[in-house]
Amino acid sequence: MSVFSDAISNFLAPIKNLLDDDSVTEIMINGPKEIFVEIKGQVYKTPNQFEDEATLLSAVRSIAQSVNRIIDGDNPRLDARLPNGSRIHAVLPPMAKCGTTVAIRKFSKEKLSFKDLVNFGSLSSAAARFLDVCVHLGKNIIVSGGTGSGKTTMLNVLGTRIPKTERLIIIEDAVELQIHAEHVVQFETRKPDEMRGIGEVSIRELVLSAMRLRPDRIIVGEVRGDEALDLIQVMNTGHSGSMGTVHANSPVDACTRLETLCLMGDTKVPADAIRKMIASAMQIIVQCSRYHDGGRRTAQISEILGIDEHGRYIGRDIFKWVQTGRDEATGKYIGEMIGCNYVPTFYNDIVVNKFPFQKNLFAPPEWAAENGTVKKKAA
């Protein structure tokens, strides 16, 4: 079934087969004559084409109209969410040099679970069980990663494991997370009115509201502004188990990124105090990554221990994904997620709460354990 209503399907006839194909997760249109798709993490060029720039522009305009938005010379960028959750971003010429440029991330009804991530090889079963335990213990978790690396998917999986009795407040720019629990309140930001420029409601304002609405946990879909400081305060003040995602390349980078975001606001809190707050709020960071072979994997799961005497964040890997080879036929990386021989500081919580998670699951496999370092697996 198409992600678009019948009213605009006519305009989209040139890409109908791509919209209808459930294996296509993303459609990328670089002007009327060049259309690429992503299937299972790999990008392919398709023979599909729009007749000309005007036809493509009409299609994009009709999509914008269907969600009460405008895309034209004065508003040459469109960032919209369709009623079914699919996401569309478009940029018009002359900014877009190859013609109207569009990316459509299709909404998949089938949300992935821990089991799927383990089956895809993007998480080991031990790591999945560990994350599950962290969610149950109410650890603060930040999912970090680059664009399209699987952060929202991971946050969704983690959120689904939150005990059903807890009151959960979810805040997003555009509703994307689908966490089915008994007691969920979902908030979405609002952009300012395009004509009058008023009426905006930001993530930060919604976090402030959430704090007054008796949350057990707060989830911020994507932390990318000065709401970072509020989330850190939430995490430090009795709403442990809160979560969010952030754009960063490593767990320690995620802390630094949050620091930068905190400082973006008109905060009067000094920088070193913010650093201390972040260091104490951060507990687990899940690093998602899209590798060159197209695979999305959990690259690291780390614990943040605080800051050292030089003011640097101290992170210790608990699990990490290690590449051990490459399949010559498919080009896919071969590898596995291994324990890093580090037992998290809260292991005793795991024991006293009687979670069946043996200490030896943190140990690396025999092939990797050499003088405490990870070596390459013998071919």
Ligand X SMILES: Nc1ncnc2c1ncn2[C@@H]1O[C@H](COP(=O)(O)OP(=O)(O)OP(=O)(O)O)[C@@H](O)[C@H]1O
Give whichever of 2 and 84 is closer to Mg ion, judged by the CB atom.
84
Give whichever of 111 and 276 is closer to ligand X, judged by the CB atom.
111
Is the preceding peptide bond at 94 cis, omega within 30 degrees of 0? yes
Give the shortest CB-208-to-ligand X separation in angstroms: 23
Spatial CB neighbours of 160, under 8 Å, sequence gap ≥ 6: 111, 113, 179, 180, 181
Q: Are 100 and 31 in contact (CB under 8 A)?
A: yes
Give whichever of 139 and 151 is closer to ligand X, judged by the CB atom.
151
In the structure encoding, which two tokens stand for residue 346, read together? 């809260």
Which residues between 198 and 257 bind Mg ion (CB under 5 A)? none
Give the shortest CB-346-to-ligand X separation in angstroms: 26
Binding mask 90-109 for ligand X (x = CB under 6 A): ------------------x-
Give the shortest CB-336-to-ligand X separation in angstroms: 14
The listed partner (Mg ion, ligand X, none) that binds 339, CB under 5 to 8 Å by sort, is: none
Q: 300 has which bridge partners? A: 287, 320
Binding segment (CB under 6 A) for ligand X, from list 147-155, 162-170, 180-188, 331-339: 147-155
Identified binder of ligand X from the candidate list 32, 145, 344, 364, rule CB under 6 A: 145
> How far from each other are the two terminal CA atoms of the chain, in whole angstroms?
45
The listed partner (Mg ion, ligand X, none) that binds 251, CB under 5 to 8 Å by sort, is: none
Give whichever of 152 and 283 is closer to ligand X, judged by the CB atom.
152
Question: Strand 141-145 to strand 284-290: parallel, antiparallel, or no bridges (unpaired)?
Answer: parallel
The listed partner (ligand X, Mg ion, none) that binds 145, CB under 5 to 8 Å by sort, is: ligand X
Q: Check residue 151 for interaction with ligand X (CB under 6 A).
A: yes
Give whichever of 107 and 342 is closer to ligand X, judged by the CB atom.
107
Radius of gyration of the chain (CA): 22
Length of the chain: 379
Strand locations in the chain (E): 24-30, 35-39, 42-46, 77-81, 87-91, 101-105, 141-145, 168-172, 184-188, 217-220, 243-247, 284-290, 296-307, 313-326, 333-339
Identified binder of ligand X from the candidate list 86, 100, 122, 283, rule CB under 6 A: 122
Q: Is 189 exposed, middle or buried (0-12, 13-18, 19+ CB in 10 A)?
A: middle
Binding segment (CB under 6 A) for ligand X, from list 76-84, 150-158, 181-189, 318-326: 150-158
Q: Check residue 152 for interaction with Mg ion (CB under 5 A).
A: yes
Q: Check residue 148 for interaction with ligand X (CB under 6 A).
A: yes
Dihedral sign from CA coordinates of 171, 173, 179, 182: positive
Give whichever of 151 and 275 is closer to Mg ion, judged by the CB atom.
151
Give whichever of 30 and 233 is closer to ligand X, judged by the CB atom.
30
User: Which stretches of the chain bind Mg ion, using CB under 5 A?
Assistant: 151-152
